[in-house]
Structure 1
């Protein structure tokens, strides 16, 4: 929680500006993976790790209740250049979805810029654009672009919080990160603006799943496939060699080797 981040920062005597920056990183990582990347996985676990020099990492997990699969999102401050464009260090999943709405993709850059411009025009203008997108002619055009199978993430949401749209107009965000960081901006507003950008202004959004890594060894319960023991043992062997050659104390090295031994002896079938 944000309170726990504050306590950890107090114990490390971090400056108040660093505390604010770390709390912002925690909030934005959660919001991006729940709202800006709409992949059907709802976050239920969020871990925030910080160091005494202000570096941080986020590991959070989402669940797709219908498919009964989980997905893990990894963020690393030392690798981060933007919260809203290609921010993940890795995304771990058993499955790769055919369609998602990924406003963090590089391919969505022009659409993100258009979304900011649209939101600054006020809710009355946005309402007219939403109605235009919802017309049958425009829906047919979108179907033509996407093919016969139209992903649910690219349907215009039925409900949009117009009070929040008014807040956006008053705040006048300068960029997409400022837009999505506004309190109350949720998945429906992000999707509505994305659709307007795609259909009206012809600035395409990415619908490709940004999963960057999937499980290499299989699952001990046989899902998504049984553990490949040969690959599993080879990975442990590589890790053992890395530990043996690492420039660390003997005590730490022995502990690491002991943990690897437990993994190698584990029953994974």
Structure 2
């Protein structure tokens, strides 16, 4: 039986991912996927996608808005683009997406199944059924608008889909995983992202099995007219037992990253590990003037996304400190650092394919060291860290949807000095 892993609230944001960030997200997402598959296999990658905390951290480390609903769309889109050229190598395929791409999922699954020798109609039925369950059997006020279906060569799959509640300006993400799934209507989700909104009718809860069967019996024995009269008679006199709440990650409405959003000791461990292991494991990288040491800090956070255990991702905001955010929170995306991160990871994965594990091994040691040092490491406050990063941003080709930081910095300085 598939298990639920938690839930989260996601503020509903509009807008598009700029091309300069989208291309980099595509590259970084593909390389991180390759690293995970190399170390742990593609089944583990599916398990990661089915975990809402990891999924949110994955999007944050790629420079998306760390808390918003847009992470879902951008991550699915980046993986679809980035993994397509690697499909024959990794055996991982991404179908569907947002809006009209969602409606193309059945056709994509049929074409893919014909090529791989899978049971296409079963996959199509699965796609339609999980969408129907989350839109009808779970009546929580969120209308589905995104459906991503990730399937492997051997027919294992993960579905990530998202609904919106326009009135409340919130989104809810649903995760499904084929591993251990024995029933589509009895606790099938690996997780549901989103805070409960009023009373929720969830007929997929295993405790609702009696209710599902009773509904069929009522419809057969009484007919719709008698059912209505029974409901009228019972109205206000009987209430169903409250549904147990899942553990959930609350994504706040504020856009800035605040100290309460980040586990400081883990941040300090990452910074300390980068300072200690960087000169040892990345000497050539550190010859890159003005970029290397900063890039090692980003690599340490990427390494945690590759190697970290589930409990490590309870503070997705921390991973936005790797490459900032497109809306300038916590600071503009440092393009030099982002590109250097991609270059180092690409080199490490390429070497590993040839049997040379030194570079990927260095990333693993970086992650191991961060966990050891976080027990004793100290460092700057989050606010001080962000101030330092913003000051360095123009020199690191900081960029946001508002433009290049080097062009914005004089205007911002002038505005602050006049207040």
> Which TM-score band applies after superposition, normalised by the shorter structure?
0.5 to 0.7
Instruction: Tell me which structure has the larger Cα radius of gyration.
Output: 2
TM-score (norm 1): 0.58
Aligned equivalents of 1:224, 1:104: Cα separation in 2? 36
In the alignment, structure 1 residue 107 sits paired with structure 2 residue 177: no
Deviation of 1:127 after TM superposition, in Å, equals: 1.5
In the alignment, structure 1 residue 240 sits paired with structure 2 residue 240: no
Runs of 4+ in 1 over 3 A off after TM superposition: 209-213, 222-227, 231-239, 241-245, 248-257, 264-267
State which of 160, 164, 187 in structure 2 corresponds to 1:63. 164
TM-score (norm 2): 0.39
Alignment-derived partner of residue 115 in structure 2 = 11
Aligned equivalents of 2:131, 2:246: Cα separation in 1? 17
Q: Secondary structure at the match of 1:21?
A: helix
Q: 1:221 to 1:85 in 2, by over 3 A?
A: same
Alignment-derived partner of residue 175 in structure 2 = 74
Q: Secondary structure at the match of 2:228?
A: helix
Paired residues, what number?
Answer: 192
Deviation per CA, 1:48-84, whole angstroms, max 9, x where unpaired? 1111111111000011111111111000001312101
Aligned ranges 1:118-197 → 2 under 5 Å: 118-121=218-221, 125-134=223-232, 137-142=233-238, 145=239
Check conservation: 2:141, 2:197, Cα contact below 8 A: no
Deviation of 1:24 after TM superposition, in Å, equals: 1.1
Aligned-residue RMSD, C-alpha: 4.0
Deviation of 1:96 after TM superposition, in Å, equals: 3.2
Q: 1:113 to 1:241 in 2, by over 3 A?
A: same
Q: Secondary structure at the match of 1:89?
A: strand
Deviation of 1:6 after TM superposition, in Å, equals: 0.5
Aligned equivalents of 2:360, 2:161: Cα separation in 1? 27
Deviation of 1:105 after TM superposition, in Å, equals: 1.1
Aligned equivalents of 2:155, 2:139: Cα separation in 1? 29
In the alignment, structure 2 segments of 5+ residues that lack a partner are 1-104, 271-297, 309-348, 368-384, 391-419
Q: Which structure has more RCO (C-alpha within 8 Å, separation ≥ 6)? A: 2
Alignment-derived partner of residue 59 in structure 2 = none
